[in-house]
Structure 1
């Protein structure tokens, strides 16, 4: 049976007390509207029982949008969420966030929940774009996009370019034995970044083996475990490109605990440029992308679409260009 979220856990995540959380969920006027919204959104993301939240959501659903996010604990998505929130608040909109956990079946469930709320529009970091094909709701996809997204509005990072820059960085160091620690294979980011790596290797007339791609790396422990696996079959020097900085920090931890020289023996490139990267004992080289801007521009774009007379026919597409931030790895 799934663990039921408690008021104490919501209080810890929102930096409030249990009594404040209780007041927020019971529409008390003793706390500010901003704090009430924050608590409700966190409760929503953590699957606090849906029927309990129905009675505390804003009555004016025309001023509310949904937001589907894969991992509320990842600093990248937290920054993206902040961008969404800041623009929404400035236009007097509420945001109802739902966690999808990189699970396409849960994504369908959360889409259905959002539709039942009769919100004005939806923002989503998609897992499977086809889950949105029949959605009759103003929609903007954030951060991820594949060929199937051509008919959708989106605000994304150029993941092909980001991976190309990472691969070129390794090759310029003379490292041709490169490994890609990807996220889930089915998401568009994995495909786009793989193509970017292949393009950099083709420029040097070098092969990039498919066996050098390791999927489903999402957490710190995944990076640590996958590098251990790689090192059992490969000797340094080598390069490791990671799907996120969280995974890259796990790789860095394992490499340092194993006594490997960085970047001479193991060179590491992350993705996202989260705030902690520069403060590590070994500051992380990474691909910086516009996390906050993707969120804020996504919300602005959704508001523009909502304001149109025929919102379902509006397609707006924005692509941000990444850059490599070279530090010590």
Structure 2
């Protein structure tokens, strides 16, 4: 039987948005497969939150088209709203209500019956480790507890696509990692996550694909490893047990290797890909050079971010279209 390609969770073509004379989004294209985590990175003012607001029907684009979970953004906004959940930068939790009451309020907004609502609330309180806290006012919650409750409220309607707009801002490292684990579990259940974040480590840890937005335009897109390999400075570090092995490696590899005799290491430029590693290893093997340790060093997402984004007033040098396409 012929196999069918899963319908994308999010597609957008040519999204544009201006506020007065300021262009905030300039022909943004997006493609997010179902059951994946897509991270949108960019400096403050790059257009990340505007993108989320457009895709979640909060504001209209000036031009372009988009489909969310199979629903056209322009012609079926109610269908989009029924399929998505949104957790914004600022908590939507009502401090005067208990955790359970916040969840029941969301259940009422989703028109769940009394029995279903109570079952759903009990399940979410347990899932997010808020059973005991659920009886207390939200004003007594820590930052991490509030974010967990906020996400639990988003899940009351069982959304297929969840937009997380900087969900871990202000959280301590433990609470941030707890949130990461929750996100991974959601994706394992088939939920699609559209994530914006200021924490590059967060995108590196979570995202299947990353897009970089700068001054309203997408300047790069790919996996974290693909983006890192585009930056200069990647290398393979070879460590040897003795000077003789080091000398043999220098003889085999020649001028391409940078030598550190004291540390018994060689540094060989490379992007860390299998395509570049295989010939290096083959040459060492043919020369019968014993390597004690091989490590690959690539630039991190901080390097990618700084190279691809400009100052608040000046965009970075744009990525040529043929280079951008090559990493998709």
TM-score w.r.t. length of structure 1: 0.24
Larger radius of gyration: 2
Instruction: Point out the structure with the larger strand share.
Output: 2
TM-score w.r.t. length of structure 2: 0.24
